[in-house]
Structure 1
Amino acid sequence: MSLRKFALLLLCLSLMIAGCSNAPDASMAPRTVDSVDLQRYQGTWYEVARLPMFFQRNCAQSEAHYTLKTDGNIGVLNRCRTENGEWQEANGTASPQVPGKTDKLWVVFDNWFSRMVPGLAKGDYWVLDVDDRYEHALVGSPSRKYLWLLSRTPQISTAVRERMLAKARQQGYDTSRLIWRAADADIGK
């Protein structure tokens, strides 16, 4: 086989492999809000539903506490209540993926993995929707693998739930796989 034919074959194989990639097309990425007022966003958010990350596999209820830091980043305290009623906590920091933009954040938790491989330990936190009063938020990952429906209160009305689900579906998230917050009475039985 000539060098020219080999190079052409290699190019074709490379294009075929690239076409099989599961990575979402950047032009098809979920749309985020234009801007998030981090001052108003800070505080406690209750997770009403989620397409969970691995570390959330045993969570019955989750909540996040965000604190705006003087450097413009956000202190993150995630709490997870397990089925047996125990609380687990993770501390981290959220920072803008693009300086000066607040809709897409990187979150890094302070754990052994993030200290061992800091570049790989950050997660996407894209704010897809937040209402005018900063009472409800829809947060996801650009891969659409993870999604969180957040509220300032542990429960939401049916109207708010349907609005949030519709927005998530419009963005291409599979809401049929959502895990909903367990009722307080069901935990620790």
Structure 2
Amino acid sequence: MFKSISKVGFGAVILMMLNGCLGMPKGVEPVTGFELNRYLGTWYEIARLDHSFEDGLSQVSAEYSINEDDSVKVINRGFSDQDQQWSEALGKAKFVDGSDEGYLKVSFFGPFYGSYVVFELDKENYQYAFVSGPDLDYLWLLSRTKKVDQEVIERFVSTAQSLGFKTNELIFVEQK
């Protein structure tokens, strides 16, 4: 069973994450040569900086597809071990500048948008992505698979640390 997006929790607090902020942390640059059609589909959260909207969630994933208005449909899901149920948030994303740049704005509630910055991407196979939000408090390692090579994790941590993210606070997400 899924919790409704209208309930306080995973979906409702995503607004707090986005906080209506665009922009990106100093030093973070969105990838260029971004191809949305290759990015669509399911991504698994491997690591994150934790926030109340994801507190206690495992098996977190994001599903990206195209809406009828050409925006990107975003469905975030995670399993709450405490509640023994899935939480889900439905949103949409749009490119901030051009569609060939990994810089999007994401909204889970009406007109409020926040940054979604893909700053590293396996451009050959689109198998992993490093993503930030509008500031150093938001960071994710996403993968097409539920596990990634240790080399990717080490590069993620090293890159994030060099940009000023608090990598000692990373949560490594349980995926089943």
Whether these two folds match at TM > 0.5 is yes
Q: How far did 1:26 drift?
A: 7.5
Give the structure with the higher percent strand. Answer: 2
Greater Cα shift, 64-73 or 83-92? 64-73
Residue 139 (structure 1) aligns with = 131
Q: How far did 1:159 drift?
A: 1.4
Q: Which blocks of at least 5 consecutive residues in structure 2 are unaligned?
A: 1-22
Superposition TM-score, scaled by structure 2 size = 0.77
Q: Give runs of aligned pairs for residues 104-143 of structure 1, distance below 5 A.
A: 104-109=103-108, 114-115=109-110, 118=111, 121-131=112-122, 132-143=124-135
Residue 92 (structure 1) aligns with = 91
C-alpha RMSD of the superposition: 2.2
Percent sequence identity over matched residues? Answer: 35
Partner SS, residue 129 of structure 2: strand
Structure 1 residue 158 and structure 2 residue 167: aligned? no
- Closer, same or farther: CA 75–26 of 1 in aligned 2, 3 Å: closer
Equivalent-residue separation in structure 1 for 2:73 and 2:92 (angstroms): 5
Q: Deviations over 1:136-171 (max 9, x none)?
A: 000002311100000011111211211222222232
Equivalent-residue separation in structure 1 for 2:157 and 2:25 (angstroms): 22
Greater Cα shift, 78-87 or 96-105? 96-105
Residue 55 (structure 2) aligns with = 57
Give the structure with the higher percent helix. Answer: 1
Contact 1:38 1:68 in 2 (8 A): no
Q: How far did 1:67 drift?
A: 0.4
Contact 2:78 2:86 in 1 (8 A): yes
Q: Deviations over 1:84-125 (max 9, x none)?
A: 43111111101112254531111111xxxx24xx3xx32210
User: Which of the residues 67, 70, 74 maps onto 1:72?
Assistant: 70
Partner SS, residue 142 of structure 1: coil
Contact 1:29 1:142 in 2 (8 A): no
- Closer, same or farther: CA 183–42 of 1 in aligned 2, 3 Å: closer
- Closer, same or farther: CA 27–88 of 1 in aligned 2, 3 Å: closer
Q: Which has the higher contact order (CA 8 A, sep 6+)?
A: 2
- Higher gyration radius (CA): 1
Equivalent-residue separation in structure 2 for 1:65 and 1:87 (angstroms): 15
Q: Which blocks of at least 5 consecutive residues in structure 1 are unaligned?
A: 1-24, 185-189
Structure 1 runs (4+) deviating above 3 angstroms are 69-72, 99-102
Superposition TM-score, scaled by structure 1 size = 0.72
Equivalent-residue separation in structure 1 for 2:25 and 2:117 (angstroms): 15
Contact 1:63 1:80 in 2 (8 A): yes
Partner SS, residue 31 of structure 2: coil
Residue 175 (structure 1) aligns with = 167
Residue 30 (structure 1) aligns with = 28
